[in-house]
Structure 1
Amino acid sequence: MPRESDRRQLLADTAMRLIDEGGLAAVTHRAVDAAAGVPVGTTSNYFRTRAALYEAIAHRILDQQLAALQAAPVSPLDREGLVDSLTAAIDAGDGPARNRYLARFELSLEAARNPRLAALMRDLRSVTLRIRTAQLRAIHPDATDEQLDALGSLLTGVTFDRITLGVPSMNTRTLVDALITGFLQ
């Protein structure tokens, strides 16, 4: 029998896959049960409400985001390494991180109507921003918190537009370099 944490992870991962395939509206308890290959009622047993399921997805996104950030260099040795790291983060949305990124964006929209989910999504952003801030400050020690916060939002916006609309067409590395230059130099 799978451990409870393994089952929760399976259900959250399955829900993220459903978001990738059909949006947040596709995430119902029954749909997650069917897609995960578990008995009917399993998802509702673990997550009584849709809000609880959304929160589980947000926690799973945070776990995956932390793992991805920990796999990347904490402090790039130079500006080129920093640009490479941020470029890779944006471009991951077109590849292995697509379902995580889409789930994050869908949950962020839902958070506008759900204060508890909004708090979780702010926490997720904060963790990511804190790690990226350390990287940026290693190269740009005089950057203000406001600049780094705005740069984080700009990079998130670029990622959102890339995943959802395929724009802007500018090379990602060139775009990241221009944003860093414009904001921090």
Structure 2
Amino acid sequence: MIRILDILFSLVGLIFAMPFLIILFIIGLFDTGSPLFMQERVGRNKKPFTLVKFRTMTVDTASVASHLASTASITRFGGFLRKTKLDELPQLWNVLKGEMSLVGPRPGLFNQEELTQAREAKNIYNVRPGITGLAQVNEIDMSTPTLLAETDEKMIATLNLKHYFTYILQTVTGSGSGDRVK
């Protein structure tokens, strides 16, 4: 049922948000010259996939987890995108393709070994990663791998339609701050 909702919401979201996505893309061209950020992430069953977001940091920023990046790398427009969570909108394409869900554990990087090990121990990779979830609405990010894996495990064990809609609503209305940047 959740996969059907993911397909429906991501398709409708992409269709209705397309004019807005185009505007953000054009502004991003002026901001960084490269408005889309694509990065290989750890997906379901630890298979790699390419996550797509709007770029919020300068093009020359190292490809590391957000909590390891410097705030000096965030552009002015990127700060706005992060604050409003609009940088996440292109991930609807990842959801539509089946690489992600709207709700699930945030996909990490392959070089985040401590997080990968903590998640493997809790079978987190048995599900699709998500745009939002219990950890995100509670401001738990990848800087605390063990706590994140425990929170992801709790979310997966208790995920139902009510929680699915609750996490989405909490994210849209501003709960959580996204990944911290030092």
Calculate the TM-score normalised by the size of structure 2: 0.30
- The higher radius of gyration belongs to 1
Specify which structure has the higher proportion of helix.
1
Specify which structure has the higher proportion of strand.
2
Calculate the TM-score normalised by the size of structure 1: 0.30
